[in-house]
Amino acid sequence: MGKLDLETIAATLTGLGQVRVQGDACIRGKSPRVTCRRCQEVCPVKGVDLGNDRPGIKDCQRCGLCAVACPVGALEDPERTHSFFLARGRESIVATGKALFACNRGLADHRRDGWIIASCLGAVAPEVILALAVRGQVGFRYLPEECAGCPWGDKGERLFRSSFAWAQQALGAMGLPGERLIRGGYLKPAPAHGGATGRAGGPVPAVMGRREFFRSLVCKIKIPGVEITPLSQSPQAVNARSRALILQQALEEARPAGGYPATARLPLAALKVTGPCYLCNICSRLCPTGALELTEGELRFNPSRCNHCGLCLAVCPQHSLAWGEDLPLEAMAAGATCTLAIVTNHRCASCGETFQAGATAMECLRCTLSRELPGVAARRGGA
């Protein structure tokens, strides 16, 4: 075996101390109308650069908050992904009946057995919290005084409190007991009651995500003469790795035999059409998850795929899309679709020509666009 090339290893490991950026997934690159800055706003060290309309990392402390704030998964901690927290939580619930999370700043190394350690409690996504609460008790070692002394400021605490409150609301809407979600400084890991056990039969240590970590490492290594086939980037493939799917599967898992009550609502807004829709296909073509689809003269919406990134609202030429009422639980669990607009024949109120659009359109698209062009309204007013 040849001598170990430390420079090569160092070059390979460059960037592994920060979150991974998938610039092509960022919705800012889809349209200049998109002004999403969630990752930048939540970063406690002002380490996210959006100068090129794509996220770039100039400073990273691996808090993981941007991975939760980003609705499309463009930023991700390669070691502590959403699937990692979900898998470790489920392992702990099988072994002890509960999954307990703690911030890595709050516990000494010798006290970490039985805890799932996160860089920050805010790094655990609300969909993951809910999915674990469907199977057992989920607890967070939360002490406000520790958060107050955190050098990352209060952004992590606010994100955690928001995620926890959302999961509580969703749990109540699903009819599950509220005591499945707990937080406080009094929590203690429970001994394993079956399955895998820790040292001497004690609490099960939450294993680190080495498998995911090294998979992400290998993906960055280029082997001469070997061409790596990229993963499919279809909307369905992207959605399969999203928090939206984690949520939909959790709702389906907890679904009663007769379905959720018709009045049960999830604290997530539905999409609605509030103005003229010309079924131009812009929103459905750009939707990163395939939640919007234009087929056979109908614009259809599948809420179970939606990640609420807001891209469709930003790119609609008529600004006719908006968030509406909370989503019905049954529709989310069943993956049902709803119709937002149906193509209908109209006569333009301005030019008299016939055209096709949604039910609320009064003018043809040509008249609508010409009326909104700069200077047209002024010329008409002076005629």
Q: What is the CATH number of the domain that holds 63?
A: 3.30.70.20
Q: pLDDT tens digits, residue range 323-366?
A: 999 999 999 999 999 999 999 999 999 999 999 999 888 999 88
Q: Is the pLDDT of residue 244 over 70?
A: yes
Among residues 119, 150, 184, which one ends one of the domains? Answer: 184
Range of the domain at 91: 82-184
Q: Looking at the structure, do residues 97 and 31 belong to the same domain, yes or no?
A: no
Contacts of range 199-206, beta carbons closer than 8 Å, 24 or more positions apart: 199/113, 202/113, 202/114, 203/96, 203/113, 203/114, 204/91, 204/92, 204/95, 204/96, 204/113, 204/114, 205/112, 205/113, 205/114, 206/88, 206/91, 206/92, 206/114, 206/115, 206/116, 206/117
> Per the domain annotation, does 143 fall within a domain?
yes
Q: Is the pLDDT of residue 220 over 70?
A: no
> Per the domain annotation, does 11 fall within a domain?
no
Q: What percentage of the chain reaches a pLDDT higher than 70?
A: 79
Mean of pLDDT values over 201-217? 44
Q: Looking at the structure, do residues 89 and 179 belong to the same domain, yes or no?
A: yes
Q: Using pLDDT thresholds of 50, 70 and 90, give the confidence band for residue 17.
A: low
The number of domains in the chain is 2
pLDDT value at residue 227: 39
Q: What percentage of the chain reaches a pLDDT higher than 90?
A: 58
> Per the domain annotation, does 379 fall within a domain?
no
**Which residue type, as a one-letter code, is found at position 41?**
E
> Per the domain annotation, does 292 fall within a domain?
no
Q: Looking at the structure, do residues 70 and 111 belong to the same domain, yes or no?
A: no
Q: Looking at the structure, do residues 40 and 133 belong to the same domain, yes or no?
A: no
Q: Looking at the structure, do residues 108 and 168 belong to the same domain, yes or no?
A: yes
Instruction: Decide: pTM greater than 0.85.
Output: no
Ranges 166-170, 193-197, 254-258, 375-379: which has the least confidence:
375-379
> Per the domain annotation, does 252 fall within a domain?
no
Q: Looking at the structure, do residues 108 and 140 belong to the same domain, yes or no?
A: yes
Q: Looking at the structure, do residues 87 and 45 belong to the same domain, yes or no?
A: no
> Per the domain annotation, does 89 fall within a domain?
yes
d(CA 316, CA 278): 10
